[in-house]
Amino acid sequence: MSTVSPLRRIDWLPKLVLAPSFVAAFLFIYGLIAWNGYLSVSESRLLPNYEFAGLDAYRALFDSDRFHVAAWNLVIFAFLFIAGSLAVGVLLAVLLNQKIRAEGVLRTVYLYPMALSFIVTGTAWKWILNPGLGLEHTVRGWGFASFSFDWLINPDRALYCIVIAGIWQSAGFVMALFLAGLRGIDESIIKAAQVDGASMPRIYLRILLPSLRPVFFSTVMVLSHIAIKSFDLVMALTAGGPGYATDLPATFMYSMAFTRGQINQGAASATLMLAAVAAIVVPYLYSELRSRR
């Protein structure tokens, strides 16, 4: 006769059910991360080659002008994308917090872009910004023959097209976070400030928005993560062009690993992207755990 109590069996049941998915996640996430890390220090070219090569791929990476362009593009894109998404999202949240009519409809409209994939967003904005059939073509059809908006094919401005598309998709997400934060603030604080003679803009700038610092922090973390991993939006909108003017580390990694036969350099680029994400996420997780304790 078994001596294991029914309660002890119940305690083990969730662990038994979750074990296969845990093992699979460990192998296919952390196992592949480790494999990618080794490929970055191997002799891999067109096919994986597990002969150790040290840091040669990283040296070649930092000597590459294309990687320098991709890294600098990431800095510009991340700064403008995060700042623009925050500015538009906070503004929309403040406007909707005034309890205007049709708020539910407007909230749905602003959130709708977030329901789309970056592939759909990139394709749609590629049509809109295409000089031959988009905005420029439409405005010229209205009679403004001198109007020009060729950013998509201009190497110096094509990156800003990606920024515009990214802000359009992510601003609604930022709005939802800040609107939830604003709705969670006690209205008595606002009334007390109004009694003291403070105007609504001053209340928002000096009291309400500063009290949402955790929301700001979390939003910046999420947007930074999106910016570093941006691949599908770039591929759908510009494919890294013209030339490699809009390359980001993610598109550079894909090009080196799958079209140029330099798997080790592609893996090195992916490893640096992982390090950048970890540099953002790990301090955030540490602060969250520390605050809970």
pLDDT value at position 193? 82
For residues 268 and 70, give the distance between their C-alpha atoms in angstroms, rounded to a whole number: 14
Find how far residue 160's CA is from the centre of its chain.
16
Instruction: Decide which of 99 and 170 is more confident.
Output: 170
Query: Taking 70 as the threshold, does the pLDDT of residue 2 lie above it?
Result: no
pLDDT tens digits, 97-135: 887 788 888 888 888 888 888 899 999 999 999 888 888
Minimum mean pLDDT range among 2-6, 146-150, 197-201: 2-6
* CA atoms of 100 and 107, how far apart (whole Å): 11
Paired strand residues for 42: 52
Prediction pTM value: 0.86
Answer yes or no: are the C-beta atoms of 162 and 77 closer than 8 Å: yes
* Segment 23-41 mean pLDDT: 89
The pLDDT confidence band at residue 293, using thresholds 50, 70 and 90, is low
Residue 161 confidence (pLDDT): 93
* Mean pLDDT across the chain: 86
Look at residue 27 and tell me whether its pLDDT is greater than 60: yes
Highest mean pLDDT among 134-138, 168-172, 180-184: 168-172
Confidence check: pLDDT of 159 > 90: yes
Residues 60-292, CATH architecture: Orthogonal Bundle (1.10)
Omega before residue 242 within 30° of 0, cis: yes
With cut-offs at 50, 70 and 90, classify the pLDDT of residue 6. Answer: low
Q: Which residue has the tokens 């023959």?
A: 145
